[in-house]
Amino acid sequence: MVGLGILTLLFITTVIPAIAIEKPAIGNKTASRLLIKGKVAYESGKFSQAEEYWELAEHKFEQYGDRPHQALSLNYLSLANQELGKWQEADQYIDASLKLLQSTSTPKVLAQALNTQGNLRLSLGDGESALASWSSAEEIYRKVNDHLGIMGSKLNQAQALQQLGLYRRSQKMLEQLETELDREANPQMRVMGLRSLGNALQVAGDLEQSQAVLKESLSIAQELNLPQETSSILFSLGNTARSLHSYEAAIAFYEQAAARSTDSLTKVEAQLNQLSLLSRLEKPQIAEELISQVQSELVSLVPSRRSIYARVNLAKNLIDFNQHPAQTQKLLEKTIAQAQVIKDARGESYGLGILGRLDKQQQNLETAKQHTEAALLLATQINAEDIIYQWQWQLGRILQQQGDLQGAISAESGAVDSLEKIRGDLVAINPDAQYSFRESVEPIYGDLVGLLVSSNPDQDNLIQARDAMSVPLTTQQ
C-alpha cells in the first residue's frame, strides 16, 4: 500500500527580520517589546500567542503614528495567520502592510513583506504571483546590498519555478546560488545558505548534490558550535537519505537531530520521522519506546499547524503499527478539535482523513466513508489538490469494500484527475524524483485499472483503463 505522504510542505525561506527599523520613540517601547515577544512565540511554534502579541503591537504603533513598525506588525500577523491556516486573514494583513509601506522609506521591510506575500501566494497554489513577489524582493535586497536577503529570495523563486513545472530554470538558479555561496565570507550566513540550498535541491530531486551541500553545511555548523542549526541540518540529511531509500542512515540522522535539538517541536518531528521508517522496516519493538517519548513530548505542545501535523503523524504511525486503536481515535478527535479552534482547515482535513483510515482498518466502513468525505470536502474548499487525490483514492477503496463499484470508479477516477493537475509539482527533471513519483502513485492508477476491468469490461472502460495504465512523467521545462 502506498504511503499517503501527507505532511510534506514545500520548503520556503521565511525569516523573521530584525525588530528595530530605527530607534523607537519612548512611547513605542511597549509596542516594540510586544513585537519581540511575538517573535519568540512564533519561533517556538506558538502561533496563536504570537498573533495576540502582534495584534496589540499593531494597534499601539497605529496610535503612535509609527507607520513602518505598524507595517512590520501587519507583516508578522500575515505570517502567523499563514501558519494557522487562516488564509483570508493572512491576505488582508499583508495587503494592509504593503499599502502602508508605499508611503514609507523602509526598503528592507518592504522586501520582507513581499517575501511574506510570495509565501502566501505559493501556499495558495499561485506560483506565478509568488515568483513575481520574490523577484521584486530580490531587486530591493540588491539595492540595499543584503546578501542573505538576496539568497533567500532566489531560493524562494526556485521553489515557485518548481511549482510551475519549470525545473530547468529552477535547477539553473540553484546552481548559480551554489556558486555565490562558495564566495560567501560570513560563515554563519554560509551555513544557513547551504542548508537552505540543500533543502531546495532535495525538493528538486537532485539528491546526491543535496547530500553533499548539507554535509558541507553541517561541517561548518559543528565547527561554529551552532546546536540548533546542526540539528536542523541533520534533520534535512535524514530527509535526503530517506529519499535515497537509505533508511538506516536516515534513522541515524533523525536520532542525532532529536538529540541535539534545543526546540521541543523539532525534536518531536525528528522522532516521528524515525517512527515512520521503523514502520516501513517493520520494527515495532524498537518503535514502542520511541512512541512513549513522543506522546510525552506532545502533551506540552501548544496548538499550531506544526503541532497538529505532529499529532496526525503520530496517529498515522500508530495505525501503520496497528497499535492502540482506541488511543489513536482519541488522539485524532482531540487534534481535529484543535484544528477547528485555530481554524486550520488543512490540518482538520488531515485529521479527518487519517481518522477515516483508522476506521477503515477497524472495518468500520460507513464511519470511514463519512470521515473521508468530510476530509475531502474541506480539502476541496481550500483547493488543496495535493491532498484531494489522497482522500479521493481512500474513498474509492472504502466504496469498493462496500460493494459500490461505480462509486469507487468515480472516486478513483477523480484521484487520477487530481494527480494530473499537480504532476508538475510532483515530477522533477531528476530521474530519482521521477522514480519516486512513479513508485508513489502507480498503486492509485493500478487500483483504477483493476476496477475498470473487473466491473464492466466494455469498450469505454477498456479505453479508460489503457489510458490510466500510462503514468505521465513529462513536465514543462
What Cα–Cα distance (Å) separates residue 10 from each residue in 34, 122, 199, 200, 476?
30, 9, 10, 9, 19
Report pLDDT for 272: 95
Three-point CA angle 144, 149, 153, nearest 5°: 120
Contacting residues for 81 by C-beta, under 8 A, at least 6 apart:
51, 87, 89, 90, 93
Higher pLDDT, 354 or 205: 354
Report pLDDT for 447: 75
DSSP 69-90: HHHHHHHHHHHHHHHTT-HHHH
Residue 184 DSSP class: -
Q: Which three cell numbers stand for residue 170?
A: 529552477
Report pLDDT for 195: 87
User: With contact defined as beta carbons under 8 Å apart, do 334 and 304 qualify?
Assistant: no
* pLDDT tens readout for residues 265-280: 889 999 999 999 998 8
Report pLDDT for 240: 93
pLDDT surpassing 50 at residue 172: yes
At 300, the pLDDT band (50, 70, 90 cuts) reads confident
CA distance 439 to 437: 5
Report pLDDT for 285: 83
CA distance 242 to 230: 18
Residue 226 DSSP class: -
Report pLDDT for 439: 56
Going by C-alpha positions, the residue among 437, 342, 427, 353 that lies closest to residue 387 is 353
Report pLDDT for 208: 92
Q: Which three cell numbers stand for residue 374?
A: 468530510
CA distance 257 to 434: 28
Phi-psi region for residue 187, left (φ > 0), alpha (ψ -120 to 50) or beta? alpha
At 462, the pLDDT band (50, 70, 90 cuts) reads very low
* pLDDT tens readout for residues 67-101: 999 999 999 999 988 877 678 899 999 999 999 99
φ/ψ (deg, to 5) at 25: -65, 160
pLDDT surpassing 70 at residue 438: no
Q: What is the mean pLDDT of the chain?
A: 82
pTM reported for the whole predicted model: 0.73
CA distance 218 to 230: 6
What Cα–Cα distance (Å) separates residue 91 from each residue in 46, 82, 176, 321, 340?
20, 9, 32, 40, 20
Please state the rounded mean pLDDT for residues 347-355.
Answer: 95
pLDDT surpassing 60 at residue 189: yes
Helices marked H in 244-344 — which ranges?
Answer: 247-260, 264-280, 284-298, 305-321, 325-341
Which residue reads 497538529 in cell numbers? 308
